[in-house]
Copies of this chain bind each other. A is one copy, B any other.
Amino acid sequence: MPQQPANPEPVPDFDSMLSRKFGKEVANYFSGSPLNRVGFLRGDHQFLTQALKHPSTDFLLCNELQPLVKTEAKDRLAWVKFDDVKGVVGEDPYKSTEGEMLGLYNSTTYVPQMIFLGIDEKAQDALSYQGKNMYKGAPRFAVDVTPRASAKAECEKLISSLQGRKLEFAKGRVMDVVASDGTSAPTNEAPLTDPTVSPSSLARTGNPSATPLTSLQAAIYAEARQLLDWNARNPFCAQCGQPTLSVNGGFKRTCPPKDLARINSKSSTGVSNALSNVAEANQDESSRPPCATRQGVSNLCFPRTDPTVIMAVVNHAGDRILLGRQKRWPPYWYSTLAGFAEPAESIEEAVRREVYEEAGIYVGRVVIHSTQPWPYPANLMIGAVGQANPDGETVDLGNDPELEVAKWFTFDEVREALRVGTSGLGEDAGAEYKEGGLRLPPSTAIANQLMTSVVNGFVSGQPKM
């Protein structure tokens, strides 16, 4: 039996009918994790305790969301052992059940964030755990070792010892290279209100040698980063404003009914707004005001992922692609249009809306091509190919003027640029590139994959993906 969910990209090809009909699946950068997440074990603290301390277990450390890498081989994640992190996370962080943890909750206690990432089923001498089935694999965790609050000293001590072992935290995005001006690339998130830049179009790996993380490592780091970031940026309940507790291996935040910090604390008066009608519970000094997320299930307790559309739009004749550029991009550098999906619209509708808003083009049929997780901070890029209607091909930048230019390029122009003109935003184009020619994002960007599929026959001919 192949260990399919734990399978690295490329997707195993058993020559299925779907493969023959639709072509090979495109596995984008940041997808293709080699781990089986075994998410159903996240609430099992007996499993997590065994997993934490097994000799096969490895820990990915992050400092301000940047992963630990080898100083002399920055293209590789560095993993450490439980002995390294136990000063930070404690000897037995999963000794209480989730229910017990709720009863012991104290909002003034800082707990360094830990994420259970999954198990590597291909590892040797791995943990065997008998749950409802038997699971065998080497556990993988991520730990936030940013020096802060009560963990400051222990984190600093650990970081210092890592430096002695020639390990350091990466700078910039994991697929960044040093920018052409010698500075490292900015780590800011792509602005959410700037839908014309696909975050993917900011990928900076033009060729394999410029990729600090392999795609397998990038997929693991993406999981770690997105979960650590979500926990760090959501310490309060959006429903009631009270501090929350991370549970379920870091995949859930719950609003505890009690908080030991409230005992003899002025802060127990709680929060309020125009809708609050907060009656203090009488039975226990530690009781907090009621919160709707404690009844039933609320999506607010679960990690957030923002669906984003990115699309190669083809003209009706089927021989040109619509590309756009922002003023701040390098000369001649273009990419596909992109933007966030809005509430209550299908992806197909979001594609048509975004292309209309940004370029005034009216798109008919939309086909979804492939998807890409993008952990800056929490995007799911949904790549599509759309075809313009014959009477809707005139560019109009007047609605939502995010783009400096949007224009149609012939398949031949795009094909040539894919061959000689791809690079990250901060990189030089390749040696064959001639000044004035079209420049495009690198192959790690889904924008590149979409264009590659289109010029290779996605729309009209046989799929050659």
> Chain A: residues with CB nearer than 8 A to chain B?
1-2, 4-5, 11-14, 16-19, 21-22, 25, 27-28, 30-33, 37-40, 107-111, 132-133, 148-150, 188-189, 191-194, 219, 222-223, 225-227, 230, 233-243, 251, 266-267, 269, 271-275, 292, 296-307, 314, 316, 318, 340-349, 352-353, 356-357, 362-373, 375, 377-378, 380, 382, 385-387, 389-392, 396, 398-401, 459-460
Q: Using A4-B352, A12-B364, A233-B292 as known contacts, say yes or no to A344 and B392 having CB atoms under 8 A apart.
A: no
A189, A296, A365 interface centre (most CB from chain B within 10 Å): A365
The reply to whether A239 and B234 contact each other, CB–CB distance below 8 Å, is yes
> Are A398 and B132 also in contact (CB < 8 A) when A148-B275, A233-B239 are?
yes
Contact yes or no, B357 A40, CB < 8 A: yes
Note all chain B residues with C-beta closer than 8 A to A302. 192, 306, 340
Task: Jot down 25 A-B pairs with beta carbons below 8 A, ordered by A.
Answer: A11-B366, A12-B364, A14-B316, A18-B365, A18-B366, A39-B342, A39-B400, A40-B400, A107-B272, A133-B398, A148-B275, A223-B345, A227-B343, A233-B238, A234-B238, A234-B300, A235-B238, A235-B239, A235-B273, A236-B238, A236-B273, A241-B271, A267-B271, A344-B373, A368-B370
A296 to B25 alpha-carbon distance, docked (Å): 36
Chain B minimum-CB-distance residue to A12:
B364
Q: Kindly list chain B residues whose C-beta atoms are within 8 Å of the C-beta of A341.
A: 305, 380
Cα distance A344–B28 in the bound complex, in angstroms: 12
**In the complex, which residues of chain B have a beta carbon less than 8 angstroms from the beta carbon of A366?**
11, 18, 25
- When chains A and B are docked, how far (Å) is the Cα of A111 from the Cα of B274? 8
Given A22-B367, A133-B396, A389-B12, do A300 and B233 touch, yes or no (CB 8 Å)? Answer: yes
A233 to B5 alpha-carbon distance, docked (Å): 35
Q: Contacts A12-B364, A243-B241, A362-B1 known; A297 to B191 CB distance under 8 Å?
A: yes
B-side contacts of A243, CB under 8 Å: 241, 271-274
Chain B neighbourhood of A389, CB < 8 A: 2, 4, 12, 14, 16
Contacts of A307 in B (CB 8 A): 305, 307, 380
Taking A4-B352, A236-B239, A365-B11 as contacts, is the C-beta distance between A274 and B149 under 8 angstroms?
A: yes
**Knowing that A107-B273, A236-B238 are A-B contacts, what are 10 other residue pairs whose CB atoms are under 8 Å apart, sorted by A's residue number?**
A2-B389, A2-B392, A19-B387, A25-B366, A27-B348, A132-B398, A241-B241, A241-B271, A243-B272, A368-B368
From A132, which residue of chain B is reached at the shortest CB distance? B398
* Residues in B neighbouring A349, C-beta threshold 8 A: 31-33
Known A349-B32, A380-B347, A392-B2: A365·B234 in contact at CB below 8 Å: no
CB distance from A458 to the nearest CB of B (A): 9
Q: Is the CB of B233 within 8 A of A241?
A: no
Cβ of A243 to closest chain B Cβ, rounded Å: 3
Question: What residues of B have a CB within 8 angstroms of the CB of A239 in the complex?
Answer: 233-236
**When the two chains form their complex, are residues A344 and B235 in contact, meaning their CB atoms are under 8 A apart?**
no
The answer to whether B368 and A371 touch across the interface, beta carbons within 8 angstroms, is: yes
- Verify B367–A223 contact, CB threshold 8 A: no
Q: Which residues of B contact A225 (CB under 8 A)?
A: 344
- Is the pair A364, B13 in contact by a Cβ cutoff of 8 Å? yes
Distance in Å: Cβ of A368 to nearest Cβ of chain B:
4
Contact B226 A236 (CB under 8 A): no
Bound together, the chains give a CA A345 to CA B222 distance in angstroms of: 8
Tell which of B33, B194, B459 touches A21, judged by Cβ atoms closer than 8 Å: B459
Asked whether A39 lies within 8 Å of B357 as measured between CB atoms, the reply is yes
Docked pose: A381 CA to B1 CA in angstroms = 30
CB distance from A94 to the nearest CB of B (A): 19
A380: chain B residues at CB < 8 Å are 307, 341, 346-347
Residues on B with beta carbons closer than 8 Å to the beta carbon of A385: 18
- B238 adjacent to A356 (CB under 8 Å): no
Q: Which of A225, A364, A460 has the largest number of chain B CB atoms within 10 A?
A: A364
Given known contacts A4-B352, A236-B241, A28 and B346 CB-to-CB distance under 8 angstroms: yes
User: From residue A327, how far is it (CB to closest CB) to chain B in Å?
Assistant: 17
Chain B positions within 8 Å of A149 at CB level? 274-275
Contact of A353 among B37, B109, B367, B387 (CB under 8 A): B37
Which residues of the partner chain B approach A234 to less than 8 Å between Cβ atoms?
238-239, 300
Tell me, in angstroms, the Cα distance from A235 to B16 when the chains sit together.
Answer: 49
Q: Which 6 pairs across A and B sit closest by C-beta, in order of nearness?
A: A243-B273, A236-B241, A4-B362, A31-B346, A222-B344, A110-B274
